[in-house]
Amino acid sequence: MISQAEAIEKSRLIAKQIASEEIDAFDGAMRIWKEVLNHLDGRIPDALWPFKSNASAIEDYVFNAQDSGANHDAQIMQCKARIVEAAKSLLLNTHISST
């Protein structure tokens, strides 16, 4: 298990890659979710929720599209934009703590 402070620091490393477009926003958010948040000891810090919630929404849109043939490209792009925004915010707000 990792502490909230460690989760924020590990997430910042991935957020830097998201913000610089080194990695896709969805892929980065999934990494934060699976590699960091799933190993968190305690509550998810507010600053990290957008990564999990938007990655989860994208998964749902992709699953529903495969199941029903519906097109959710606009919603997926909106979720990716929110992930990038969260990444930039995490990098700019160095005072973000585990609250």
pLDDT of the chain, 99 residues: tens digit per residue: 999 999 999 999 999 999 999 999 999 999 999 999 999 998 999 999 999 999 999 999 888 776 666 778 899 999 999 999 999 999 998 766 554
Q: What does the chain come to in residues?
A: 99
Instruction: Report the predicted TM-score, pTM, of the whole model to 2 decimal places.
Output: 0.89
Query: Rounded to whole angstroms, how far apart are CA atoms 86 and 52?
Result: 11
**Distance in angstroms (rounded) separating the CA atoms of residues 93 and 47:** 10
Tokens of 44: 């998810």
Q: Report CA-CA distances (Å) from 68 to 55, 61, 88, 89.
A: 20, 10, 34, 35
pLDDT value at residue 69: 66
